[in-house]
Structure 1
Amino acid sequence: MRIALWTVTRGAGNIGKEYAEKLIQKLENAEIDVFTLKKFGVEGTIQIDDFTKEITEKFNKYEGHIFIMASGIVIRKISTLLKSKDIDPAVLLIDEGKHFVVSLLSGHLGGANELTQEVAEILNLIPIITTSSDITGKIAVDSISQKLNSELDNLKSAKEVTSLIVDGKKVNILLPTNVGFAKDNNVNSDGLILISNRKKIEITRICPKNIILGIGCKKDTKVEDILDAIENSLNKHNLDIKAVKHIATVDIKENEVGLLKAAKFLELELKVISREEIKKVEHLFEGSDFVEENIGVRAVSEPVALLSSSQKGKFIEMKSKHNGITVSIYEEDNIDL
């Protein structure tokens, strides 16, 4: 997780440097940049001239922000930078007296509440979390979505269902059979029959990110053709694009412009698998002499989908062909709460 730690006083700058050293040692996969004002000369930090300018430019470049300053300053500086709870980064606040750490923004989807608990434990601070679902010991819909590494279909409906949970109303969770409980339910289906005597029922959908697309294509394939192939493949199996975890391809295609543009347009990571790795599993799939002659392996879309996955799941589509483009669809089943 990339975290920016911001300060605007000499004392806070020294605290920030101290705290960053402790957090980097304890927080898993954390990268922390400490920002201090240049006039204080705090060594080992990123020294800046203009706090407002820097936070405006860098707010969306970090997954989390920790401010060691007054809450009023923080609120005024970030208020115009906020977009939506599903994309805003986590924002934490620590007082310069080294007493409290406050989860200020994006508590659930941004991970601020969880980060607050971790920071409090590492730095021996008192955590302040104010979201009603957390302080009442209940779980919010967006927290469930985050734990499933999934995407909320509708923020409004998620809010309405969470309000029912907080209010003590009964809310049922229908999950796929591989999620470890409610094993008699499988919602990866085309229809759902809900039996209830309630006239009004709030329903929201969580879309698990457990679909991997393996893609092979000819040189100079247009981005529009790749996007059409992806759309057609997903529509064929009634799959939501929101469920796609990433796209995968072979190393020889890592600079293929059409693929790179497609991944960027869909806001998905393009994972590149080496031909050496593919050779280890290509015997599991139907191969092509022509493909082997051209790039050195007998198959692309199926092995890259498999190798870039958890390898715990199944193929929904082994390989579909679309005018020189091949698409394979792999569904992971290791969704855990």
Structure 2
Amino acid sequence: MKLAIWTVTRGAGLAGNKILEKISNTTLFTLKKFNIDNSIQMENFTKTLNENFNEFQGHIFIMATGIVVRKISILIKSKDIDPAVVVLDEGLNFVISLLSGHLGGANELAENLGEKLNMTPIITTSSDVTGKIAVDTLGQKLKSNLESLEKAKNVTSLIVDGKEVELILPKNINSTGKVEGVIINSNREKIEIVQLYPENLVIGLGARKDIPYEIVKEILKETFKKNNLSLKSIKHFATVDIKAKEKAFLQLSEEFQKKLIIVSRKDILEIEEQFEGSDFVKKTIGVRAVSEPCALLTSTGKGIFIEKKIKYKGVTLSIYEERNIDE
């Protein structure tokens, strides 16, 4: 997690340096007038915070909670995208999880800081206080995406209230998660249900040069629809090194907020005999196949191809589903 420490007093700045010694990948912000080492020295706290709030996954404020609430109130948007925010006192006695406790990881950050700096973590989310797990936390542990924040909240409220909630999982908690139907045996008229989407679909891509983005997106959506797959379960995209700067692929990665992993032709050559290839592609770029080997090489290798190779208007697309159980 990329973290920022924010301070507006000399004592807080010195305390921030103590945190730097314990927590990696962290940037300390202090006011310029204090000239504190190992920090970015600010002329204006509010301006610097506004400019950098979305550049970090988590924020550690060493100041009064009231100040923090006022400063971040215009910056926060939604619990599914807001960064984690925790607040500490200058004496490093307490660490309060203030914002994005579950999805953003503020509760975990507070506990981590508490352990490493001998502070008392203060966590007020009901599920954590009662020792029960929230649906969004469960989704994180399963590395899955939520169907709906509203549905997750409704089911979590049942858990917190001590109601009976059944967790239906495949045989192995890390497996495919490819259930297509659920039968619920209950005498309750209203049953809250929320779906989690495992990120286990690896998308291999190949295309002619300067392929229009609309074509790539169209074949992706149509192929997912045909196979009854959710776009929320995309783990990442993958393509060959010669296509690393293909604008349509980069735009796809940006829109879906999934990495575009680049595979070298040297690595493809080692396994290309496993796939049906093209003499034209071999002559053009030096390998016989692109989308299939790229998908396989960037996956866990434990799974199956749902689509080996779809061809459409100059695009080739492969879908590899990662699985961890024998079928």
TM-score by length of 1: 0.93
Aligned length in residues: 325
SS across alignment from 2:311: strand
Which residue in 2 is equivalent to 1:124?
118
* Structure 2: distance between partners of 1:126 and 1:282: 56
User: Partner letter of residue 231 of structure 2?
Assistant: I
User: Partner letter of residue 19 of structure 1?
Assistant: I
Query: C-alpha offsets along residues 84-128 of structure 1, whole Å, 9 cap, x if unaligned?
Result: 111111111111121011111111111111121111111111111
**Structure 1 counterpart of 2:80, from 74, 80, 86:** 86
Asked if 1:3 corresponds to 2:7, the answer is: no
Coordinate RMSD, CA, aligned = 1.5
CA positional deviation for 1:334: 4.5
Greater shift after overlay, 275-284 or 100-109? 275-284
* Structure 1: distance between partners of 2:94 and 2:162: 30
Asked if 1:16 corresponds to 2:39, the answer is: no
Which residue in 1 is equivalent to 2:196?
206
Which residue in 1 is equivalent to 2:36?
42
Asked if 1:311 corresponds to 2:305, the answer is: no
Greater shift after overlay, 245-254 or 275-284? 275-284
* Structure 1: distance between partners of 2:60 and 2:323: 35
> Is the 1:38–1:47 contact (alpha carbons within 8 Å) kept by the matching residues of 2?
yes
CA positional deviation for 1:281: 1.8
Which residue in 2 is equivalent to 1:59?
53
Which residue in 2 is equivalent to 1:138?
132
Identity %: 55
> Is the 2:177–2:198 contact (alpha carbons within 8 Å) kept by the matching residues of 1?
no
CA positional deviation for 1:176: 2.6
Which residue in 2 is equivalent to 1:327?
317
CA positional deviation for 1:327: 0.6
* Structure 1: distance between partners of 2:324 and 2:149: 25
Which residue in 2 is equivalent to 1:302?
292
User: Partner letter of residue 4 of structure 1?
Assistant: A
Which residue in 2 is equivalent to 1:260?
250
Asked if 1:173 corresponds to 2:142, the answer is: no
* Structure 1: distance between partners of 2:163 and 2:282: 60
CA positional deviation for 1:191: 2.8
Asked if 1:281 corresponds to 2:271, the answer is: yes
> Is the 2:142–2:173 contact (alpha carbons within 8 Å) kept by the matching residues of 1?
no
Alignment of 1:220-259 (within 5 A): 220-259=210-249
SS across alignment from 2:235: strand
SS across alignment from 1:14: helix
SS across alignment from 1:327: strand
SS across alignment from 2:23: helix
User: Partner letter of residue 325 of structure 1?
Assistant: V
User: Partner letter of residue 85 of structure 1?
Assistant: K
- C-alpha change, 1:193 and 1:60, in structure 2 (3 Å) is same
* Structure 2: distance between partners of 1:61 and 1:239: 32
User: Partner letter of residue 184 of structure 2?
Assistant: L
* Structure 2: distance between partners of 1:306 and 1:115: 35
Asked if 1:158 corresponds to 2:158, the answer is: no
CA positional deviation for 1:47: 0.7
* Structure 1: distance between partners of 2:63 and 2:321: 45
* Structure 2: distance between partners of 1:287 and 1:312: 22
CA positional deviation for 1:272: 0.8
User: Partner letter of residue 82 of structure 1?
Assistant: I
* Structure 2: distance between partners of 1:264 and 1:175: 31
> Is the 1:174–1:187 contact (alpha carbons within 8 Å) kept by the matching residues of 2?
no
> Is the 1:211–1:243 contact (alpha carbons within 8 Å) kept by the matching residues of 2?
yes
* Structure 2: distance between partners of 1:64 and 1:311: 33
SS across alignment from 2:271: helix
Asked if 1:74 corresponds to 2:64, the answer is: no
Q: Which runs of 5+ in 2 are unaligned?
A: none
SS across alignment from 2:253: helix
SS across alignment from 2:79: coil
CA positional deviation for 1:190: 3.2
Query: C-alpha offsets along residues 59-95 of structure 1, whole Å, 9 cap, x if unaligned?
Result: 1111111111110111100011111111111111111
> Is the 2:15–2:91 contact (alpha carbons within 8 Å) kept by the matching residues of 1?
no
CA positional deviation for 1:164: 0.6
SS across alignment from 2:272: helix
Query: C-alpha offsets along residues 223-269 of structure 1, whole Å, 9 cap, x if unaligned?
Result: 11110011111111111111111111111001111111122122221
* Structure 2: distance between partners of 1:69 and 1:281: 56
